[in-house]
Amino acid sequence: MAYTNEHFKKVREAQSRSYSPYSKFKVGAYLRTKDGNEFYGANVENAAYGEAICAERSSLVAAISQGYNPGDFESLTITVDADNPSSPCGSCRQVIKELCDDDMPIYLTNHKGDMIETNINDLLPLGFSGKDLNI
């Protein structure tokens, strides 16, 4: 499925669930599975900053905890309230590499509706995951 206005609408809904009292940087993630199910993620901060979780990881963890497997995902849309779309942090890139197909579309958006389409191979070149262990 190609990027549509529905992706943007749903990722903004996810972003509205952000708990970001410290950074004030609200991030939302909308994960769509190949069978059409949807998972929403939002960043959840903590006063112990290292204990925060990003929106991208929260959407993927929700899907895995509901019985989905690596490779079951169709696309991931991420949004921020910034002048330009932002890409996932390093930790999120590693989790995406582990759980998603290398060519799965990742749509980076912002509050203005700007969109950049990418994938994990572009975001994490020469990345390593369980796929490399030949298990």
- Evaluate if residue 85 carries a pLDDT over 90: yes
Catalytic choice (6, 56, 74, 98): 56
Please give the pLDDT value at position 103: 96
38: which strand partners? 32
Q: pTM of whole model > 0.85?
A: yes
Provide the phi-psi class of 6: left if phi over 0, else alpha when psi is between -120 and 50, else beta: alpha
Q: List, as residue ranges, the binding site.
A: 43-49, 54, 89, 92
- Evaluate if residue 2 carries a pLDDT over 70: yes
Buried b (16+ CB within 10 A) or exposed e, 70-81: eebbbbbbbbbb
Q: List, as residue ranges, the binding site for substrate.
A: 43-49
Q: List, as residue ranges, the binding site for Zn(2+).
A: 54, 89, 92
**Active-site residue, 56 included:** yes
Structural domains in the chain, CATH included, are 5-133 (3.40.140.10)
